[in-house]
Chain A
């Protein structure tokens, strides 16, 4: 199938510039590590703050990473070819965001369990934390992709993107951090996880349309 060839291309490219793609992940690790330095490194305090700290750091890291989603394609002209392809741009974009998430979001989710240990987050709840990030970070990727599509033609788009997208990410942050927080104190975390799942379904179905519309507008001039 053709679309698998596109995934293959994206993953191959991602592998060749893995250094660049690692930056959001490194950013995530460093930001998480800064909190104990700014706060009091007392274990009970850290434990109570851990879900929020990890979630905010993941949110920022994912959004910062999304700036590069279409940038190189825009600069080298591949984006025009994508738009001129007779294949459905929605599908192309969906795969694009997904492979980008595989390259940046997934490593971040994996590392979050490690960061959880540094923040004295209870071991028994790590599964829920990882699950919440697994469901939530793709939603962030899609929201970030909408912002990236709208700002791809702008020279100073990198600063603008978080301003546009951060307010939209509030529900993901709330449910994600709540799931991780509840699990840590032994409360049931299913409800917020379901909400995250529902948002993921919404993002998967609606965001590609917003992203393609944004790309078409950005490339018009």
Chain B
């Protein structure tokens, strides 16, 4: 098995693991972490596509690499915004539970992404 395939399978496992954490973790900060694990798994899939596209003059296809770099930046921005929302929520209500505030309203746990 080549290094690229191995990294790809690792990426698939990371994505599954992150997805699991995103669903089962009650703590929103843990969900943010799980979301980042999920994201990095997907980035690795891009990485192996880049590596498999290597040609003379480039050790890896630059297009997926550039997409991943953009992705890392955007994921960081989203994480920072989610963390700021969470800290603000806890400062306001002294709790990090999303459900109590949302009962009776539309259920939306999408603050994590």
Same assembly:
no
